[in-house]
Amino acid sequence: MHSGHLPTAPIWDDVRTLTAWDIPGSSPIDIIAAGFPCPDVSDLGTGRGLEGEQSRLFFEVVRLAQETRATYVLLENVADILHRGVERVVQALHQAGYDCRWMCVAAADVGAPHERRRWFCLARRRAARYRDESDDEADPRPDVADDDEAGREPPEEREDARGGKRGGSGEEL
């Protein structure tokens, strides 16, 4: 983030040294929004996925989410993550207590003159409840919905993480 955009917001130079206790007024945290480096995930990069030196910073986001008990985590990266680590992202978030939904959106889908596909993931802490949710017992399995072709004709159906069938828009079939 450029310091001119939020002049009073603190900027840390290394997420690996940032802790929940360094964030002023950090309790409670509603959302952590993060884009982690993509060179290890991108087709044009190293191909090491989340094991790469830069892209493994994703795990620092998970650490901060756990420390702050953030209600939501919003992630962004290149669509190539679908082939180089999305399963690890979902697994790490699930182990940290989050269920997630993700999709890919092409820049052209929102009016840009180029394709440039991006991956977005919204994770919600399982202990968090929407105001109108019941107190039903939380499902211990990850809640994963995906749409890797957002804005396009969805596939007829696919299996979700629970083994059930879902349409491309995430609705139960």
Give the active site residues: 38
Distance CA 84, CA 70 (A): 26
Asked whether the beta carbons of 100 and 122 are under 8 A apart, the reply is yes
Q: What does R_g of the chain's alpha carbons equal in angstroms?
A: 17
Distance CA 149, CA 78 (A): 13
Q: What is the secondary structure of 99-143 as a DSSP string?
A: EEEEEEEEGGGGT-SS--EEEEEEEEETT---TT---PPPPSS--
Asked whether the beta carbons of 106 and 150 are under 8 A apart, the reply is yes
